[in-house]
Amino acid sequence: MSPPRDQENEYRDDSTSTAVDSDATTTNNLRHAEPYSYDDIDDLPAPPSPPSYVPSPLARLVNSVATWVKGPTPPRPYKITPFFPAIQTAPPRLLDTYLPKRKHKAWLLAAFYALWLLSFALVLRRSAFSTDIGEYGPPVMLDCTSRLWKDNNKCGLNGDDCRPFGNDTFAFRCPANCKRVEVVNPHAVGDEEVNYRPLVIGGPTEGGSGEDKIGSTIYRGDSFVCGSAIHAGLVSDKDGGCGVISRIGTQSKFPGRWAHHIASISFDSYFPLSFTFVEGSASQCKDLRWSLFAVSLTFTVLLSLFTTSPAVFFPSVFFGIFFHVALASDPPMHGDYHALVSMALGRFLPAAFCAFVMYKFSVRPTLAGLTAQFEKTILWLGGCWVGALNNYTFDKIPIQRLTPHDIQQQPGAIPALIIIVLSLFFIALGQAYALRVEGRLPRYLVIYGIMSSCILAMVAVPQMNVRIHHYILALLLIPGTSMQNRPSLLFQGILVGLFINGIARWGFDSILQTPQELRQDAHIGTLLPEILPPIIHNVMDSSFSLMPNITFEWKLPLPQKYDAVSVLVNDVERFRAYSDEGKTSFTWVRQDIKLPEYFRFAYMNGHFTGDYTKAGKWTAEGAWQHMKPGAG
């Protein structure tokens, strides 16, 4: 009688597969698991033979390619033979020795889950909930992009919608890892456009050192609060922290300084809303995400080493890492932790369904019968953590959004994209060869052909853009890892981690998005106002309360679809004229003769505001520098 097919044609994933020592053989016999059957997913027909009317040379070529694609006969499924099998199988054997019965293991697993949950909850409570900070009360939870001022004219005329400007203090709390958060669309600061850097405008004044005197710092109101707090030395980038912010009204000459690994931006004029930090207000509250990571990593590693069943291992790891990302390492924007827990639970339920599909068709074939416990832990679980901690790993790649505009504008994006594409290409070649060895390449070519056709069809949808998010990339690529070899362990773990991070952090964003959703606060591409050369009066007479002034004029009627003109002075809306008012000019009186002032103009349609022009500069000496072409 011939040996069973799965034993005769088993393909070992190492050079020692033909000479497995007696310990490995004994271990495999003791811990034998039924090999996973691919019949439920690999029942697609093989490619048909070329028709008779196809020329013979072409037919032979097609037959040769089809024969090669079908792979060896019979197929050779991959099976990992562990290095040092006696060591790698020791944890499960130890468990079998002391807890031989199934019900004992079930009770141990339940106790393990309870201890994991208790440890995580205790550290999370200490990390998430802060006590009052003196007389200032409980801190307000901010995220890394929180600001006191909105862009362009979103604070209303004279900034009234963003009051109070001064005489106001409140306690706040910043998460960890805010140092690297940058603006990804051009942001105007006077006549300078800031992009791909932290939005921190100002810093320590000339009288302060910046390192020790936190109270000597001033920041413009549209700065990132948490980035400014790191720059001032109030909170730590690694641990976050709490403090007290004080609005101090109009300030001028915001200095640009390098401090605590952040280069702030200078602004040489005035701004109505500025803030500083109260000295001595730094609280001991910390973002304990690294302590929580130690807890989660410890329990997932123990589970991986002592568990051989994929049905226990995968759901446990998926659940634990999902809530670790959602509540600790990369939580979405939230006002308080109760809202965050609600958001995490809402995203988990549909994610769990996706996880079941991934498990049935990809994860189970990879992990079934695997006895290499340490290799599984290092490759699969380690890869999963690398993907789940995307904000510390892949997020450092200089590609914020995979759009043509961002790739052209962001420094380092093009080389990074080339490296990524080449890496994915060679990885795909390796996985395709492995699928061919197992005789499954034709079926997967059909599957990926269908996926590619669907994506191309979506690309053709008018007025929409295809955006491949974290979780979509994982769902697309993970079927190609459904085999038991070492590269597949690593790649599959990374993809599962990316899926977890994408859903826990951002949710199920659509694969089709409108240009407005992708653009966010970037330039719209609307028509820009044509402003005539200004009329400048630099005469100052204090006896008649006469100050230097500048007058701008434009022509009526306004272009079609527009009914108003908006004017920003030093990035604050100071004037808004509607066409039915008949106004064709705007006069501005200089506020401080020692400081320059910056002017930008935009058309409006009702409450909708188009792009603003680049800034024109009225220098302190009274000269006018006209706006450069383009939006600013």
Question: Are residues 358 and 487 located together in one domain of the fold?
Answer: yes
Per-residue pLDDT of 426-442, as tens digits, reads 999 999 999 999 999 99
Residue spans of beta strands (DSSP E) within 131-200? 140-141, 166-174, 187-189, 192-194
pLDDT mean over 43-48: 52
Residue 539 lies in a domain: yes
Residue 338 lies in a domain: yes
Q: How confident is the model at residue 279 (pLDDT cuts 50, 70, 90)?
A: confident
Match 């603003």 to its residue by tokens.
Answer: 612
DSSP string, 11-43: EESSTTTTS--HHHHHHHHHT--PPPP-TTT--
Q: How confident is the model at residue 215 (pLDDT cuts 50, 70, 90)?
A: confident
Residue 593 lies in a domain: yes
Question: Which has the minimum average pLDDT: 77-86, 132-141, 306-315, 344-353?
Answer: 132-141
For the chain, percent of residues with pLDDT exceeding 70:
90
pLDDT of residue 109 exceeding 90, the answer is yes
Q: How far apart are the first and last CA of the chain?
A: 80
> Residue 336 has what pLDDT?
79
> What does DSSP assign to residue 295?
H
CB 204 within 8 A of CB 231: no
CB 81 within 8 A of CB 17: yes
Question: Are residues 94 and 165 located together in one domain of the fold?
Answer: no
CB 237 within 8 A of CB 230: yes
> Residue 556 has what pLDDT?
83
Which residue range is the domain that position 548 belongs to?
Answer: 535-625
pLDDT of residue 209 exceeding 80, the answer is no
Classify strands 512-513 and 616-618 as parallel, antiparallel or unpaired: unpaired
Residue 530 lies in a domain: no
Question: Which has the minimum average pLDDT: 12-16, 85-89, 499-503, 514-518?
Answer: 12-16
Question: Are residues 300 and 269 located together in one domain of the fold?
Answer: no
> Residue 9 has what pLDDT?
47
Residue 481 lies in a domain: yes
Question: Are residues 482 and 613 located together in one domain of the fold?
Answer: no
Per-residue pLDDT of 145-203, as tens digits, reads 999 999 999 999 999 999 999 999 999 999 999 999 999 889 999 999 999 999 999 99
Number of domains in the chain: 3
Question: Are residues 561 and 421 located together in one domain of the fold?
Answer: no
Question: Are residues 246 and 322 located together in one domain of the fold?
Answer: no
Question: Are residues 264 and 348 located together in one domain of the fold?
Answer: no
> Residue 96 has what pLDDT?
92
Could you give the angle at the alpha carbon of 556 between the alpha carbons of 552 and 559, nearest 5°? 105
pLDDT mean over 267-272: 97
CATH of the domain at 208: 2.170.130.20
CA-CA-CA-CA torsion for 8, 14, 20, 23, nearest 10 degrees? -120
Mean pLDDT of the chain: 88
CA distances from 382 to 24, 376, 497 (A): 24, 8, 9
pLDDT of residue 406 exceeding 90, the answer is no
Question: Are residues 96 and 138 located together in one domain of the fold?
Answer: no
pLDDT of residue 33 exceeding 80, the answer is no
Question: Are residues 100 and 159 located together in one domain of the fold?
Answer: no
Q: How many CA atoms lie within 13 A of 205 on its CB side?
A: 12
Match 């309360």 to its residue by tokens.
Answer: 545
pLDDT of residue 321 exceeding 50, the answer is yes
Question: Are residues 294 and 272 located together in one domain of the fold?
Answer: no
Question: Are residues 253 and 297 located together in one domain of the fold?
Answer: no
CB 231 within 8 A of CB 170: no
- pTM assigned to the model: 0.85
CA distances from 573 to 454, 565, 598, 599 (A): 46, 11, 11, 10
pLDDT of residue 342 exceeding 90, the answer is yes
Please state, as a whole number, how many other Cβ atoms lie within 10 Å of the Cβ of residue 583.
15
**Which runs of consecutive H residues, i.e. helices, occur in 253-309?**
289-306
Q: How many CA atoms lie within 13 A of 574 on its CB side?
A: 18
CATH of the domain at 542: 2.60.40.10
pLDDT mean over 276-291: 86
Residue 5 lies in a domain: no
